[in-house]
Amino acid sequence: MSEQNDLDVLRHSTSHVMAEAVLAMFPEAKLAIGPPIEDGFYYDFDLPRSLTPEDLGEIESRMRESIAAHKRFVRREVSREEAGELFADQPYKLELIRDMEEGEVISTYSHDGFTDLCRGPHLDNTGQINPQAFKLLSIAGAYWRGDEQRPMLQRIYGTVWATQEELEAYLRKLAEIEKRDHRRLGRELDLFSIHDEGGPGLILWHPKAGRIRTIIEDFWRQEHYKAGYEIVYSPHIGKAALWQTSGHLDFYRENMYAPMDIEGQEYFIKPMNCPFHIMIYKTRMRSYRELPLRWAELGTVYRYERSGVLHGLMRVRGFTQDDAHIICTPAQIEDEVLGCLDLTAHILGAFGFKEYEIALSVRDPERKEKYIGDDATWEVAEGSLVKALERKGLSYTRMEGEAVFYGPKIDVHIKDALGRLWQCTTIQFDFNLPGRFDMTYVGSDGQEHRPYMVHRTLLGSMERFFGVLIEHYSGAFPVWLAPVQARLIPIADRHNDYAYQVRDQLKEAGLRVEVDDSNERMRAKIRQAQLEKIPYMLVVGDREAAEGTVSLRLRTEEDLGPRPVAEFIKTAQEAIAEKRDI
């Protein structure tokens, strides 16, 4: 058994011990599910009152008593009727039993007087759980089976490891994650906000974040033009017929917002940009000599997300995709996918992401009704993506059933400073829309042919990527992205004029700079600049004014002493050109 499987068994067993403790505290509790998850476990409960953080300590104490008793886990297979009797007072378990397929094995696991419906496996006994290596972490709400129309349950999250040292290391990592939380840093650094008055999941970018976004978008456009793309723009709404033709109303309707009536016609706010790009393509007949066409757009789209899954910048209802569509001949498809992979590595590398993992998402062969297209077409599509990955020598994980309804895709997951993976780039093969919209081109034989189409995003969405950047850099953005690159700090009021002279020099050199001419003391000004994570602090006083220098301090608290203004400008420009952290 692998180390991860061992941990999964440990975590699943610990979730049962937790459920035992909760049931002892609340005999009328209704039990839902309690699976192992990455780095821990959870269990969902329907309880007579809301849990408090203080309850977690009581639950942990009861768990340690169960662990100390070395209670044996016992597996038993039961009939559907017997299972119904065992869980007669547990409605969620009864629903799970009803949903099991006829003939499916139904098993329970018991330790002492606690019995749960469970496939297992489990440890031999509770004593195999290290009482110093687990901790209950938090309480959250969770809809039964993820359906907001079903009851809201209380979910207890916990973690457990083989050793106390591993637990402590994980808790330190959690503390670092909390310190880097983009929602907290977004408030502290005045970057963005979300308001109930405006609507959940809708982001307001503040001036500093707006500056960063502009820098990102300018860089993105520059690199796309270099890579042979053209930039297009499309509207935010489209007639229902457009989304019917594309297949979105049949396959994606639950993620779209309600239609609006305009002069007796139904219009939908767009969940994707692709049908509009196709409309541009179809304005005239195309020749094979024009292909490939690479059209990119920073297009804002809107998708319905349940309020329970919204999460800062990471899960929103309105977001701007760095979208692109490549329309090409069948012979060009592999090279175009390779070009996407190369551009991905280049652009993500510029933001400091050098490590990533790749997933190839393919259809579920047992549920072909979820997808458009015949077997032969899917095989060609999957084969093209596989060949491109193999030509680049890239390893990947095959993800069965994760393809979108119109074709397979490649997902690139970048690794951040804490080793967490974030899905950004998606490269999707689409043989659906060219047929649905009757896209053609005239080939070298003078006949009409069907083009292939690639959908791709590199950053994913501006909102989510910005959230990842905040957490990756803990808000201390590299110099080229920092909204304010340098702050001039005059020691006294008499130094303000010199500070503004230097500011003008730095602005002329293309730097983003401001002067702190407040009445605060110098050390307070320096501390404030460090809290705002400004890369450079330039202190100026009598000596600096006399010598034409600035006293350079870094946000990392290093004091580099006096520097001629021209020398500082060169230092900053080099850091920007090389996209260094500082």
CA distances from 581 to 142, 185, 423 (A): 39, 18, 23
Other C-beta atoms closer than 10 Å to the C-beta of 331 total 10
d(CA 235, CA 229): 20
Which residues does 473 contact at the CB level (< 8 Å), separation at least 6?
352, 417, 581
Total residue length of the chain: 582
Task: Please provide the distance, in angstroms rounded to a whole number, between the alpha carbons at the two ends of the chain.
Answer: 46
Which residues does 183 contact at the CB level (< 8 Å), separation at least 6?
312, 313
d(CA 465, CA 416): 11
The H-assigned helical ranges of 199-319 are 207-226, 240-246, 248-251, 274-281
Strand blocks (E) in 278-408: 286-287, 293-302, 318-328, 356-362, 397-400
Question: Could you list the active site residues?
Answer: 274, 303, 321, 323, 325, 409, 455
The H-assigned helical ranges of 322-366 are 333-350
d(CA 420, CA 25): 36
Nearest-10 crossing angle of helices 375-391, 333-350: 50
Q: Does residue 155 contact residue 32 with C-beta atoms inside 8 Å?
A: no
d(CA 398, CA 390): 13
Q: Does residue 510 contact residue 558 with C-beta atoms inside 8 Å?
A: no
Which residues does 478 contact at the CB level (< 8 Å), separation at least 6?
352, 575, 579, 580, 581, 582
Q: Does residue 485 contact residue 534 with C-beta atoms inside 8 Å?
A: yes
d(CA 396, CA 389): 8
Residue 193 DSSP class: E
Nearest to 333 by CA among 390, 373, 292, 374: 292
Q: Counting Cβ atoms within 10 Å, is residue 441 exposed (0-12), middle (13-18) or buried (19+)?
A: buried
Residue 312 DSSP class: T
The H-assigned helical ranges of 33-78 are 53-68
Which residues does 316 contact at the CB level (< 8 Å), separation at least 6?
201, 202, 203, 305, 310, 461, 463, 464
Which residues does 476 contact at the CB level (< 8 Å), separation at least 6?
533, 535, 555, 581
Q: Does residue 301 contact residue 321 with C-beta atoms inside 8 Å?
A: yes
Other C-beta atoms closer than 10 Å to the C-beta of 244 total 14
Strand blocks (E) in 47-151: 73-78, 106-111, 114-117, 134-143
